[in-house]
Structure 1
Amino acid sequence: MKAGSDEGHAREDGPPPIPGDLEQSGDQAATGLGARVAELRKLHGYTQRALSIRANVSYSLLCKVESGERPASHSFAAPVARAMSVNVTDITEQPYGARNATPYSEQAGVPALRQALVEGDDPDLDTATRGVEELRAEVAQIKEWDRKTKHAEAVRALPDVLRHLHRACQELPVDQRPPLHELLAAAYSFAVIALYRLGHLDLSHLADERARVSAGRGDNPLRSAVAEWNHALILLFDGSYNAGLRSIDRASALIDLAPPQPARAAVQGALHLRAAILAARTSNTDLAEAHLSEAQRMVTPTQEEANYYGTKFGSANVDIHRIAVPVELVDGTTAVSRAASVRLPVGTAPSRTGHYWIDLSRGWLLHGDRRRAMASLHTARRIAPQLTRYHPQVHETIHSLAAGDARSSVELSQFAAWCGIRI
C-alpha cells in the first residue's frame, strides 16, 4: 500500500481581509458546523473568499456550508480548521455533553480514565494485584463492549484494568513481560476507540501513543499493526490523510512479519478498509475502490464472529465500507444505489451496523431524500445509541435537516434533544 503525495494548500500570509469581497451574510440560517466555521472565520479576520483559497476548498461550498444549505463533511472541516490554525474539535465543538456531566452520564467515567492515562506505567494501587488470566478476561469484556458500542462502560472499566496491567507487568521478569505488553496495547487500543467515539480527541491521542509503545514492547507484529491501524484513525480525524495512508503502509509491513494464521487476513483486510476511507478523503476514487477490492479479497468465513484484534473485519464490514466510500466522496446517489443490495447479517457487530446507518443517512441527505435520512438516523439510534448520540456527522446531519425545514418538526426536535443539539 503506497501513500499518496502530500496535499498542497493555497496559502496567504496572515489573515487577509479583502475589501469588497462579496460573501453571504453570517446572519442567514446557518446552524451547527457551518455557523461555527463562520464565527471562527470572522474572529480570525478572513473573508469567505480568502478562507476558501487558504483552505483549498470550493468558495461555493464554503458559502453553502456556512448558510446551512449544504452539510459539512469531515474532509471539509479538517482543511478549514488547519487553515485557521485551530483544532477540528474547535469547529465540531466536541466532546458533546461532557461539561457538568452527572455521575450517571455516559461521560462520567472520562476523568478517571484521563488520570490513568496520565499515570501511565506508574500506577498507584490501593488493592491487591490481580492474576494475568483475570486481567485477560477483563480486557475481553472491554472488547465485547467495544463491539456493542458500549463505550461508556469501557471507559468506566479501563482505569482499574490499566493500572493492574501495569503493576502486573512490573512484577514479572523482563523476559516474561511481552504477553502483558500485548494485553496493555489491547486495553489502550480500546481506550483510543472509546474516547474517540465519546468525542475526547486529545485523550484519544494520548491513549494512541500508549498503545503503540506497549505494542512495540510485545512480540506480536499483528498487535503492532493494529496499533498503527488505530493511529491511522486518529490521523483520519485530524485531516492528515496522507500521513494516515503512510501509517497503513507501516502496518502492512508489520503484517509481513507475522506467521500465516486466520487473524492475519482479517487485520490486512481491516487495513485496506481504513485506507479506502483515507483515500476517499483525499478525493482519490480509484485508490479508494482499489482498497475496497483488496479488502474483499481478504474475506474468509467467520471473521466477523472471531473479531480478531477488535477489527470486526468480515464480508459485512466490506459492504458497509462500499457505502461509506461514496459518502466520503460526496456521492450520495452511488451510496444509496449500492445500499439497495446490502443485507447485513443479523450477527453483524452493532458498532459496524450503527456506522452503516449513519453513513446511509448522510447518503440519503446528499441524494435529497430527507425523510429517509431521518429514518436512517432512527435505525442507527436503535442499534448503537452511544455511537449515534456522539457522532459528529449525526450532529451535522440534524443541523442540515433543521436548516432545510420550513417549520419545526417534532420528530426532528426530539431527536436533536436526545443528541443534546439545540436547533
Structure 2
Amino acid sequence: MHALPEDHTGVRIARLRRERHLTQRALSDLSGIPYSTLTKTEQGALPATPHVVNACARAMQVETATIVGQPYAGDLRADELDVLIRPIREALDVYDLGADPDVQARPLVDLTAEAEALCAAVRAGEIKRAATDVAGLIEETTTAAHIAQSREGWLALASLYRTGYDVAAKLGFPDLAQLALARMDWAAQRGSDAVFGGMYQYLRALTYLRAGQYRTGQRLVDLGLRALEQADPSREREAVTGQIHLGGAVMAGRAHDEALAMSHLREAERFAESTGEAVKVHWLAFGPTNVRVHRVAVLAELDKYGEAVEATAGLSIPRDWPKSRTSHHYAEVARAQMWTGKLDASFQNLLAARRTAPQQAKYHPMVRDTYAGLEAAHRRLPESFLSYGSWLSSAPSA
C-alpha cells in the first residue's frame, strides 16, 4: 500500500517524458543521467536527487517545480494557505505608487519591530503566520516608507519583502519569490545598504539553485561577494559574506564541482572563525555550526552520502538555532541515511524534521522524496510510517 500514490517525482518525470514523445534512452542521453538511474527513478526504486531532477528538467525544457510537484495545491487548500498568496502578490504590486491615502501607517519603529518579528516567525517554522501577516504589513510599511523617505523606512520594507520571498519560496511559488526579491533590491537601494545588496544577490542565487541553473547562480554568488566588498567592515558584513560562500558551496556541489564547493566551504569556515555563532545576523544562522551543517549538505549533493552521514558525527545543533534551518538539516541527514541503507535512522530524522518545523517539512520536496524512497525500500510498513505519508498528503499542518 502506498501512502503517497500521486506524490512521486519519478512518475512525473515519466509522464512528462511520454508527453514529449521521448524514450527512456533518449531522455537519458539528453539529460546525461545514466539509463539505469533514470529507469529506477521513474519506477520509484530510487528517489530523485536534485541533480537528476534538474538534469531532466533542462532536457525536457520544463521548470524544476513542475517535476517536484510544487506548489502542492491540494495541501495548500487543506491548510488554508492558498488564499494567502494573492494578497502577497497584490502588496508587491504597489511598491512605487507612493503613500496610500487610505492607509494609516503606524510609526516606523513599530513597523520595524513587526518586520523583525516576521523574520523570526519564518525561522521558527511559522509559515502560516508569516503568510497571513506579511501582505498587510507590506502595504502599511510601503506608505510609511514613502512618507518618511528615510533609510529606516526603506530597510523595514526591504525586510518585509524578504519575508514575502521566504513564504513564496517555501510554499513553491518561484515566480512570486523572484518578484519579492526584485522589490527587496528596489527598497535596499533606497536604503543605501550594501549588506542588503549582498543579501539580495545571495537570495537571488538560491532561486537559480532551486531551478537547476547553477552557472547563473554561481555568477550571482560572485556578484554578491563583490557587492559586500563595498560595505563598511563589520561582523554583519562578515556573516553575510560567509553565508554567501555557503550558498556557493551548495551550488557547486549540486553542479558536481567538488573543487569549487570545497573552496567555498573553506572560505566560509574562515569567516565563521571570526564571527562565531552569528545566529541572528539577518537570521542567517551563520557560524561554525552552519559551516558543518553545509558540509553535510555539500557531500550529499556530490553523491558522497556515506561521507555526509559521517560528517554528522559530533554535530550538535545549538538551542537558539532557527527551527526552519534545523528541520532542513534533519531532512538532509535523512536523505543521506536513506541512500546508505540506514532506513530506520532516516525515518527518525524525517520525524525530527516534522517535529521541529511541521509546516515547513510538509512542503519540503526533499522530505517528500525521501519518504517515497523509504516507502519503496520497505516491504512491510509500520503504522507510524503510513501515518506520516497521510500527514504529508492531506492532513492540515500542526
The TM-score normalised by the length of structure 2 is: 0.92
Q: Distance in 2 between matches of 1:119 and 1:171?
A: 14
Matched, 1:155 2:131: yes
Structure 1 segment 320-339 matched on structure 2, within 5 A: 320-339=293-312
- Residue range with higher mean Cα deviation, 375-384 or 345-354: 345-354
Q: Distance in 2 between matches of 1:203 and 1:54?
A: 30
Partner of 2:43: 67
Instruction: Give 1:105 deviation, angstroms.
Output: 2.8
Partner of 1:340: 313
Partner of 2:66: 90
Partner of 1:356: 329
Asked if structure 2 preserves the Cα contact closer than 8 Å seen for 1:326 and 1:335, the reply is yes
Q: Distance in 2 between matches of 1:40 and 1:288?
A: 32
Matched, 1:120 2:121: no
Partner of 1:101: 77
Structure 1 gaps, min length 5: 1-28
Q: 1:384 aligns with which of 340, 345, 357?
A: 357
Instruction: Give 1:119 deviation, angstroms.
Output: 3.3
Asked if structure 1 preserves the Cα contact closer than 8 Å seen for 2:74 and 2:394, the reply is no
Q: Distance in 2 between matches of 1:268 and 1:168?
A: 30
- Residue range with higher mean Cα deviation, 275-284 or 311-320: 311-320
Matched, 1:192 2:165: yes
Q: Distance in 1 between matches of 2:311 and 2:125?
A: 25
Q: 1:169 aligns with which of 110, 126, 145?
A: 145
Matched, 1:56 2:29: no
Deviation per residue, 1:57-91 (Å, 9 max, x gap): 22221112111121111121112112212111111
Q: Distance in 1 between matches of 2:77 and 2:23?
A: 37
Report how many aligned residue pairs link the two structures.
390
- Residue range with higher mean Cα deviation, 410-419 or 358-367: 410-419
Instruction: Give 1:203 deviation, angstroms.
Output: 1.2
Q: 1:179 aligns with which of 152, 160, 163?
A: 152
Matched position secondary structure for 2:77? coil
Q: Distance in 1 between matches of 2:188 and 2:220?
A: 15
Q: Which amino acid aligns with 2:350?
A: L
Instruction: Give 1:99 deviation, angstroms.
Output: 6.5
Structure 2 gaps, min length 5: none
Partner of 2:264: 291
Partner of 1:312: 285
Q: Distance in 1 between matches of 2:333 and 2:73?
A: 25
Asked if structure 1 preserves the Cα contact closer than 8 Å seen for 2:235 and 2:275, the reply is no
Q: Distance in 2 between matches of 1:30 and 1:413?
A: 15
Partner of 1:110: 85
Matched position secondary structure for 1:339? coil
Q: Distance in 1 between matches of 2:291 and 2:199?
A: 18
Q: Distance in 2 between matches of 1:219 and 1:413?
A: 52
Matched position secondary structure for 1:417? helix
Matched, 1:77 2:53: yes
Q: Distance in 2 between matches of 1:239 and 1:126?
A: 43
Partner of 2:108: 132
Q: Which amino acid aligns with 1:141?
A: A
Q: 1:411 aligns with which of 375, 384, 395?
A: 384
Partner of 2:190: 217
Matched, 1:264 2:240: no
Deviation per residue, 1:126-174 (Å, 9 max, x gap): 44122111110110111111221212211111111111121122223xx
Partner of 2:347: 374
Instruction: Give 1:346 deviation, angstroms.
Output: 2.0
- Residue range with higher mean Cα deviation, 399-408 or 47-56: 399-408
Identify, as 1 or 2, the structure richer in helix: 2
Q: Distance in 2 between matches of 1:326 and 1:390?
A: 23
Q: Distance in 1 between matches of 2:246 and 2:156?
A: 24
- Residue range with higher mean Cα deviation, 337-346 or 132-141: 337-346
- Residue range with higher mean Cα deviation, 137-146 or 194-203: 194-203
Structure 1 segment 208-247 matched on structure 2, within 5 A: 208-247=181-220
Q: Distance in 2 between matches of 1:177 and 1:335?
A: 46
Instruction: Give 1:303 deviation, angstroms.
Output: 5.3
The TM-score normalised by the length of structure 1 is: 0.87
Q: Distance in 2 between matches of 1:135 and 1:300?
A: 34
Matched, 1:401 2:363: no
Asked if structure 2 preserves the Cα contact closer than 8 Å seen for 1:30 and 1:403, the reply is no
Q: Distance in 2 between matches of 1:77 and 1:409?
A: 29
Structure 1 segment 34-53 matched on structure 2, within 5 A: 34-53=10-29
Q: Distance in 2 between matches of 1:323 and 1:87?
A: 27
Q: Which amino acid aligns with 2:107?
A: G
Q: Distance in 2 between matches of 1:363 and 1:220?
A: 39
Q: Which amino acid aligns with 2:19?
A: L
- Residue range with higher mean Cα deviation, 341-350 or 374-383: 341-350
Q: Distance in 2 between matches of 1:183 and 1:128?
A: 17
Asked if structure 2 preserves the Cα contact closer than 8 Å seen for 1:179 and 1:219, the reply is no
Instruction: Give 1:338 deviation, angstroms.
Output: 0.9
Identity rate, percent:
31
Matched, 1:276 2:249: yes
